[in-house]
């Protein structure tokens, strides 16, 4: 009992060194894009994903999934279903020698669905709420971190949190890239997560991006 209390006091009193993270969008980045995915049998990891995650983790990055799941607000599935799917994803990654450190999801939608999930929340990407929460929970160095995703909202959330945003061309990535270029924005773009991870680990990412 005493030990537990002392340990808590110790850890809250000491300055904890900040760690770099890679924030990861889920659908279209880690796994095949499926409309309102919630069933484990529809979960298909994209090629090279376990290897890429293992390499990033080996290099010292904390791996955090940040995913918008408005299917909860819309009543398509429950928060427990999202958590079950994330547990299944983690099991598959562990079986392949990889793992994620944390999962954060936003169950809300600003205009559509059921209470209490219909709300203009701070966690739905393009806002940075989930990244900021993870940074506080896990002692992350946002300026040394990356956000990888296939949609503009992923890049916007990354920029808003002070991270370096990377677009992947899996999922909705190609459409997102077309729209961004139409707006005169040239994001840092990679074929898939494996290519993005390779660039991060080999210094192939520009230090700043105008994607927002």
Residue pair 20/164 in contact (Cβ under 8 Å)? The answer is: no
Q: Which partner in Mg ion, Zn ion, none is near 25 (CB below 5 to 8 A by kind)?
A: Mg ion
* Residue 25 contacts Mg ion per CB under 5 A: yes
* Count, residues near Mg ion per rule CB under 5 A: 5
Interface mask toward Zn ion for 53-92; x: CB under 5 A: ----------------------------------------
* Single residue of 64, 134, 150, 166 touching Mg ion by CB under 5 A: 150
As given in the structure block, the two tokens for residue 51 are 């290897």
**173 part of the interface to Mg ion, by CB under 5 A:** no
- C-alpha torsion angle, residues 77, 83, 87, 88 (rounded to 10): 10
Distance CA 23, CA 17 (A): 18
Residues whose CB falls within 8 Å of the CB of residue 198, separated by 6 or more in sequence, listed in order: 52, 204
DSSP-assigned letter for residue 144: G
Per the annotation, the verdict on 25 as an active-site residue is: yes
26 touching Zn ion, by CB under 5 A: no
Q: Counting contacts by CB under 5 A, is residue 27 touching Mg ion?
A: yes
């Amino acid at each position: 009992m005493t030990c537990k209390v002392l340990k808590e006091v110790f850890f809250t009193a000491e300055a904890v060194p900040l760690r770099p993270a890679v924030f990861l969008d889920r659908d279209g980045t880690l796994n095949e894009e499926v409309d309102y995915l919630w069933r484990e049998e529809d979960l298909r990891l994209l090629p090279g994903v376990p290897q890429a995650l293992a390499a990033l983790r080996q290099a010292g990055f904390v791996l955090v999934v940040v995913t918008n799941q408005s299917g909860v607000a819309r009543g398509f599935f429950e928060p427990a279903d999202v958590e079950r799917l994330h547990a299944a994803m983690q099991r598959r990654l562990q079986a392949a020698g990889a793992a994620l450190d944390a999962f954060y999801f936003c169950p809300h939608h600003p205009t559509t669905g059921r209470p209490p999930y219909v709300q203009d929340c701070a966690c739905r990407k393009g806002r940075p709420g989930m990244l900021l929460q993870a940074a506080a929970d896990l002692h992350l160095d946002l300026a040394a971190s990356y956000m990888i995703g296939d949609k503009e909202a992923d890049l916007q959330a990354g920029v808003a949190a002070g991270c370096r945003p990377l677009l992947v061309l899996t999922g909705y990535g190609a459409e997102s890239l077309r729209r961004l270029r139409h707006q005169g924005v040239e994001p840092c773009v990679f074929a898939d997560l494996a290519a993005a991870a390779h660039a991060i680990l080999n210094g192939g990412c520009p230090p700043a991006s105008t994607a927002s």
